[in-house]
Amino acid sequence: MRLGVAAALVGGVVVPGDVEVDASDGTVARVGLAPAAAGGTAVPGLVDLQVNGVGAHDLRTCGPEGFDEAAVELAAGGATAAQPTFHSQELPAHLRSLEVLAEVRARGGPGAAWLPAHLEGPFLSRRWAGAHDPAHLLDPDPGACERLLAAGPVGFVTIAPELPGGLDLVRLLAARGVVVSIGHTDADARMTTAAIEAGARHLTHCWNAHRRLTARDPGPAGVALTDERLVVGLVGDLVHVAPEVVRLTLRAAGGRVAVTTDVVAVGQGIEVASGAARRSDGSLAGGVARPDDCLRNLVSVGASLAAAVDACGGVQRRLLGLPDVRLRPGDPADLTVLDDGLRVVRTLRAGREVWRAGAA
């Protein structure tokens, strides 16, 4: 199957020519083929680490059909995989959310693939709760953690390591193969480094909802920008973080920045205003951008296409240990086709089309 593109981003280099996909095994067969189309570029599919909800579907509470509709919308934004994020709620509700996700992953579905869950809480700092209800936050509890891990697929947990027992919980999760992320935290630089040494590997939405960076108190952001052991999560909507700070983050931690939408469902006290999801008090509740919006935003602040695609998918795959996708022959055909304005035309997952512009 030929994609009908002018070029492809292969191993981080734009290679002129069309791309052929082997639909029988879901891999890239050949690149650089003539004749090439007049426009369009195939790039590795995008991966979002923080998807709280899409449209009206809160992933904590929706059923399998809601996951299916959300997955199609994500594919329309160029994502071939996404990490459903369950932000803090009462523990029994977390358990139910994980049970639904286990069902969704077992049966498969349309659109982007659903990864194991990202639990953004409940082990977070009340001082930096952000949009989380402080009533649902808990001090680190190994017993509660084990119940969560047993309830369904968990691949990623955000935790405030300075809480009592926090470092022990980081060690427990890391030993179980879970990616531990530092976030919603009042950790100083010393504690952030201790969490990294205990096994933490990511900072949740750098610059948002954590101790602030100052000249003599660098906090989580200062450590994340300078310690190559940590992947730097960043909301890429240019609302949560100013363009200049996005540019700073990319320059300081290039190749380690994992951009996310932090997208949330709207309704139930959350409304969209000026391109952001806000609560009734005007505070940010999450994002409304699509993955391809974030990609274009990175290019708009000076990132190359290759660097932007890596920050919107490649870094995430490396962090999670997913198969490498660089559109070389033999690579998984998890890809999206962008037009010359970097808008999504078509998305394929394992060589199968999961979204196409204009399709019924």
**Which residues, listed in sequence order, are joined to residue 185 by a DSSP beta bridge?**
210
- Residues 342 and 19: their CA atoms lie apart, in Å, by 18
pLDDT tens, residue by residue, 249-258: 999 999 999 9
Q: What is residue 281's predicted lDDT score, i.e. its pLDDT?
A: 76
Q: Is 1 a domain residue?
A: no
- State how far Cα 328 lies from the chain centre: 23
Q: What is residue 275's predicted lDDT score, i.e. its pLDDT?
A: 76
Closest C-alpha among 226, 315, 236, 341 to residue 307 = 315
Give the pLDDT band (50/70/90) at residue 137. very high
Q: Are residues 135 and 248 in the same domain?
A: yes
pLDDT tens, residue by residue, 157-184: 999 999 999 999 999 999 999 999 999 9
Average pLDDT of span 8-12: 98
Q: Is 2 a domain residue?
A: no
Q: Are residues 64 and 16 in the same domain?
A: no
Is pTM beyond 0.85 here?
A: yes
Q: What is residue 337's predicted lDDT score, i.e. its pLDDT?
A: 98
Q: Are 19 and 31 in contact (CB under 8 A)?
A: yes
Q: Is 310 a domain residue?
A: yes
Q: Are residues 197 and 244 in the same domain?
A: yes
pLDDT tens, residue by residue, 22-36: 999 999 999 999 999
- The two tokens of residue 196 are 């990294």
The CATH number of whichever domain residue 151 belongs to comes to 3.20.20.140
pLDDT of 282 higher than 80: no
Give the pLDDT band (50/70/90) at residue 1. very high
Q: Are residues 345 and 308 in the same domain?
A: no
Q: Are residues 257 and 349 in the same domain?
A: no
Q: Are 32 and 41 in contact (CB under 8 A)?
A: no
pLDDT of 359 higher than 90: no
The CATH number of whichever domain residue 343 belongs to comes to 2.30.40.10
Q: Is 272 a domain residue?
A: yes
Q: Is 204 a domain residue?
A: yes
Q: Are 232 and 254 in contact (CB under 8 A)?
A: no
SS (H, E, C) 148-187: HHHHCCEEEEEECCCCCCHHHHHHHHHHCCCEEEECCECC
Q: What is residue 360's predicted lDDT score, i.e. its pLDDT?
A: 61
- Residues 173 and 149: their CA atoms lie apart, in Å, by 9
Give the pLDDT band (50/70/90) at residue 276. confident
Q: Are residues 334 and 273 in the same domain?
A: no
Q: Is 329 a domain residue?
A: yes
Q: Are residues 267 and 222 in the same domain?
A: yes
Question: Residue 193: which H helix or E strand, with range?
Answer: helix 189-198
Q: Are residues 79 and 15 in the same domain?
A: no
Q: Are residues 63 and 182 in the same domain?
A: yes
What is the domain extent for residue 37?
7-42+325-356
Q: What is residue 150's predicted lDDT score, i.e. its pLDDT?
A: 98
For the chain, what is the domain count?
2
SS (H, E, C) 229-277: CCEEEEECCCCCCCHHHHHHHHHHCCCCEEEECCECCCECCEEEECCEE
pLDDT of 139 higher than 80: yes
Q: Is 332 a domain residue?
A: yes
Average pLDDT of span 324-342: 98
What's the mean per-residue pLDDT of the chain?
Answer: 96
- The two tokens of residue 102 are 């286990």
- Which of 48-52, 136-140, 220-224, 270-274 shows the lowest mean pLDDT across its residues? 270-274
Average pLDDT of span 339-357: 97
Q: Are residues 165 and 302 in the same domain?
A: yes
Q: Are residues 150 and 186 in the same domain?
A: yes
Q: Are residues 150 and 294 in the same domain?
A: yes
